[in-house]
Structure 1
């Protein structure tokens, strides 16, 4: 999701499981609100109308947007209040994002939308595979938009945050005004103005202010519809990258090998300079442009995969200011394009499972009563908790790793 200037707001999945793990519930949250919370919320909505009108939103648009929005969304407040600080290991982060299913579907979408991708690439100069990878990272190629437990009324979500979350109130007010202007523009009607709990919208998960800056009408129907038009959504993502300096025809970076026992300076240098210091492409191929500037990155230490990142890597970070996010986009894009995966592997303390084996792991854990989630092969907090519970029961080290060792013991039961 494109990030606002004052920080990032990410979509959190599995909130119910996380909340229960922290001893929270919607019912408990409700009891923590004032007895007349709904009346106070309606009063806030009535008062905010003048602010919206002063910002250029018509009274008619405001009334239409808030029709039926007469109480705060308690689930939004719960998500906002319970944001677990989980720092994923490199292998965990990338295994869940650069995996067989995402690659396969990305290639299918490349064929399905080829005519549109041809036009988008020609108009914006952004590599189609980067755009497809962002689509995967943001909404699983639109699958998340079909999940009613995740998607919700953007006006209600943002007004709830503006009313009930002091930490996010300023952000939410700004986003709410922008959302109302989107509705007023006619790009989408109120019944389809849906997004995450924090207001991230559409296939490529744009917050309202970012939508205003970058939204595109690629299919020519007169509306910038990132919810139901894949061409519009992908063009919007490409437009963001272009306006943030994407260099057409250039890569995001290279996996490289370092000579043993040598230290390297921080900062940027030309690829030719890095090569003179003994840094070579891990694939053995030459660098495309020796004059291009690049920065050395070691996301998993010297013993893991190592990279030289070019300017386009920094441009991807305009979408999400995270090295891991930008690297996952680049790696997934390369896999979708058929360039192949990493030469070096991440420093994982176990034997890696394939996507099919991870799904089998979830199914077997479910059979024995440890897991209640989807059999999607994505190892999140629910899967890790189930693995740990099983490991503890079996007298194994409860590390929660989705390992071949754990799957092998399950197969023997």
Structure 2
């Protein structure tokens, strides 16, 4: 996961209720004492002593973990930025290739859990770029910082740390393999340790539930999560729809009605086909009345539970359609200044540097330094200063 920049508030922040987690910064002496206490608690909880020591020895104060835990996003990412970044040509192309490569596994997962394999693949693609980027942080050390920093959630993180050590102690994931988010989510589909203990599965049959190195285990565990969250195999996630002119009927995720009722209200699939049947759905317009409209079922809510964000669930839904040969959403997002793909963001950073707005080494990740450079470029060109990695400033710098 990136530094608050491209994903909004991840699901573990939603789980924590958006709280500022930290008390005061962790001093070296107090961290050392706290880590010793954590080792003792872990052993008392059934973790092998050598695992507890091996995974917690060397834990030091991590400024980034502390900063991320006590800060909120600079701004709410517009949905068209979010979608442009998450559902870009590279992720679609990679997804199609991996759909073929892991065809047997995905079909077996779909058969066993009743969850659309394209949805499972899309979660994998968006959570870790199909396992290519599982996170910057060593999970036990990040959780130790959070558990030892005080504040209202230290008990929660202490529990997540003990569960992490237990996963390693039980032999499911190698002690050094835990890489993930600053908040403790790890593996190819980013499970929190508590979620792992409840829903992770051994799909490849090797006796280990390894979400880090085993693609079958990661995909099956994701399907198990979605099934547990309410996914049912007889329903679609939803459809893009058109509304009758001047529509002022029900809308919102909680206002559900059968597809047949929506048809009576004049709502139709965007391809013109009539809605029918008793499957219940809700009408959402995530960009307002001037943007695309969707009827979403409870399967969409299951996706949304993975990361409590409508934008996230739509990105998963769209990516699943595109990797399976479907078409993009038809209605345009209501903006004249759309967002950029990952390749374009990397190019934007290079252009900022070459035009004198230094943002450091280009890596495609839009953090504080890149936003500062964008703001300087926007001011230079007389644009509204936003710090957004968007088309208008990109094209002014020479992007195409």
Fold match (TM-score > 0.5): yes
Q: Conserved in 2, the CA contact under 8 Å of 1:72 and 1:159?
A: no
User: How far has the Cα of 1:60 moved from its partner?
Assistant: 4.3
Equivalent position of 1:293 in the other structure: 280
User: How far has the Cα of 1:58 moved from its partner?
Assistant: 4.1
Q: Conserved in 2, the CA contact under 8 Å of 1:3 and 1:321?
A: no
Is 1:142 equivalent to 2:131 in the alignment?
A: yes
Equivalent position of 2:187 in the other structure: 202
Equivalent position of 2:380 in the other structure: 393
User: Match for 2:140 among 155, 167, 171?
Assistant: 155
User: How far has the Cα of 1:84 moved from its partner?
Assistant: 2.9
* Structure 1 residues without counterparts, runs of 5 or longer: 11-28
User: How far has the Cα of 1:268 moved from its partner?
Assistant: 0.6
Equivalent position of 1:105 in the other structure: 94
Equivalent position of 1:26 in the other structure: none
Q: Conserved in 2, the CA contact under 8 Å of 1:98 and 1:328?
A: yes
Equivalent position of 1:363 in the other structure: 350
Equivalent position of 1:67 in the other structure: 57
Q: Conserved in 1, the CA contact under 8 Å of 2:14 and 2:308?
A: no
Is 1:336 equivalent to 2:361 in the alignment?
A: no
The 1:373–1:171 alpha-carbon spacing in structure 2 relative to 1, beyond 3 Å, is farther
Is 1:222 equivalent to 2:222 in the alignment?
A: no
Partners of 1:7 and 1:359 in 2: how far apart?
A: 32
Q: Conserved in 1, the CA contact under 8 Å of 2:137 and 2:181?
A: yes
User: Match for 1:96 among 72, 85, 92?
Assistant: 85
The 1:208–1:249 alpha-carbon spacing in structure 2 relative to 1, beyond 3 Å, is same
Equivalent position of 2:3 in the other structure: none
Give 3-state SS (helix, strand or coil) of 2:302's partner. helix
Instruction: Map Cα deviations across residues 360-404 of structure 1 (whole Å, 9 max, x no partner).
Output: 43332221232335364x766554433321121233333445555
- TM-score of the superposed pair, with normalisation by structure 1: 0.84
Give 3-state SS (helix, strand or coil) of 1:134's partner. helix
Q: Conserved in 1, the CA contact under 8 Å of 2:284 and 2:296?
A: yes
User: How far has the Cα of 1:309 moved from its partner?
Assistant: 0.7
Equivalent position of 2:334 in the other structure: 347
* Structure 2 residues without counterparts, runs of 5 or longer: 1-9
Q: Conserved in 1, the CA contact under 8 Å of 2:355 and 2:397?
A: no
- TM-score of the superposed pair, with normalisation by structure 2: 0.87
Q: Conserved in 2, the CA contact under 8 Å of 1:350 and 1:401?
A: no
User: Match for 1:309 among 296, 300, 324?
Assistant: 296
Equivalent position of 2:308 in the other structure: 321
Give 3-state SS (helix, strand or coil) of 1:294's partner. strand
Equivalent position of 2:6 in the other structure: none
What number of residue pairs does the alignment pair up? 383
Partners of 1:307 and 1:348 in 2: how far apart?
A: 18
Give 3-state SS (helix, strand or coil) of 1:255's partner. strand
Instruction: Map Cα deviations across residues 216-260 of structure 1 (whole Å, 9 max, x no partner).
Output: 212222211111111111111111111222111421111111111
Greater mean deviation of Cα atoms: 258-267 or 272-281: 258-267
Taking only aligned residues, the RMSD between alpha carbons, in angstroms, comes to 2.7
User: How far has the Cα of 1:109 moved from its partner?
Assistant: 1.2
Is 1:7 equivalent to 2:23 in the alignment?
A: no
Q: Conserved in 2, the CA contact under 8 Å of 1:385 and 1:400?
A: yes
User: Aligned ranges for residues 116-265 of structure 1 at < 5 Å?
Assistant: 116-145=105-134, 150-265=135-250
Equivalent position of 2:36 in the other structure: 46
